[in-house]
């Protein structure tokens, strides 16, 4: 008898494809493609030819994008 391990559906283990990640962030898939090329977007995984994003990394990316003003260079304190 073999046991099949099922991945947990926690944010740490939830993977989104490029289209779903872009939708989650409210951006176009093309923007994510450009950011990957520039190295400025959220951390991603490359599985073979597929690009995947961990949900927890997207949430962290959004959190780090918070600003108190247009001239702020870092997130405001909580």
- What does the H/E/C string look like for the chain? CCCCCCCCCCCCCCEEEHHHHHHHHCCCHHHHHHHHHHCCCCCCEEECCEEEEEHHHHHHHHHHCCCCCCCCCCCCCC
By the 8 A CB rule, do 29 and 66 touch? Answer: no
pTM of the model: 0.77
Q: What is the pLDDT of residues 38-63, one digit of tens each?
A: 999 999 999 999 999 999 999 999 99
> Among residues of the chain, what percentage have pLDDT more than 70?
79
Give residue limits of the domains in the chain.
15-64
Distances (CA, A) of 63 to 29, 48, 56: 20, 29, 11
């Amino acid at each position: 008898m073999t046991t099949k391990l099922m991945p947990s559906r926690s944010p740490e283990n939830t993977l989104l494809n490029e289209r779903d990640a872009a939708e989650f962030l409210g951006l176009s898939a093309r923007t994510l493609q450009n950011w990957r090329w520039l190295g400025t977007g959220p951390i991603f995984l490359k599985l073979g030819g597929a690009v995947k994003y961990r949900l927890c990394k997207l949430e962290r990316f959004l959190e780090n994008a918070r600003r108190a003003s247009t001239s702020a260079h870092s997130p405001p304190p909580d």
